[in-house]
Amino acid sequence: MSRMSIFLRSVALPVCVALGLAILFRPVYLTEGQPNYLLAWICIGVPFGIRRMFLWLVPHRFDLAGTVGVVVLNVIVGGIIGGFALIWQVVSGVVRTIRG
């Protein structure tokens, strides 16, 4: 693969998705003009980490409240993990682009 395709797929696309999510969720994590950085981290990281969480905590044989609780826990922890996964993907993409 060429360096440009590696850069576009591994760096530019995830950064554009993260910026799009930041713009989309801006009303959620901005309160009175002050950003809540943890909530922003979770909102931006959800698509990058949620698939990992639904493999670990599967809502199975719970009542409605237990299922909703496990799903919410999956979204919160998946968002936090996804933030780190996004950073790791961008850094590794930059390294792969430099190496060629």
69-89 residues labelled b (16+ CB within 10 A) or e (exposed): ebeeebbebbbbbbbebbeeb
The answer to whether residues 82 and 48 touch, using CB atoms and an 8 Å cutoff, is yes
Whole-model pTM? 0.83
The pLDDT of residue 29 is 93
pLDDT digits (tens, 9 = 90+) for 32-68: 989 999 999 999 999 888 877 777 777 788 899 998 9
Its domain, for residue 58, covers: 3-99
Whether the per-residue pLDDT at 12 is higher than 90: the answer is: yes
- Total count of domains within the chain: 1
The pLDDT of residue 100 is 76
CA distance 70 to 63: 11
90 or 1, greater pLDDT: 90
Whether the per-residue pLDDT at 95 is higher than 90: the answer is: yes
CA distance 62 to 66: 5
The pLDDT of residue 87 is 95
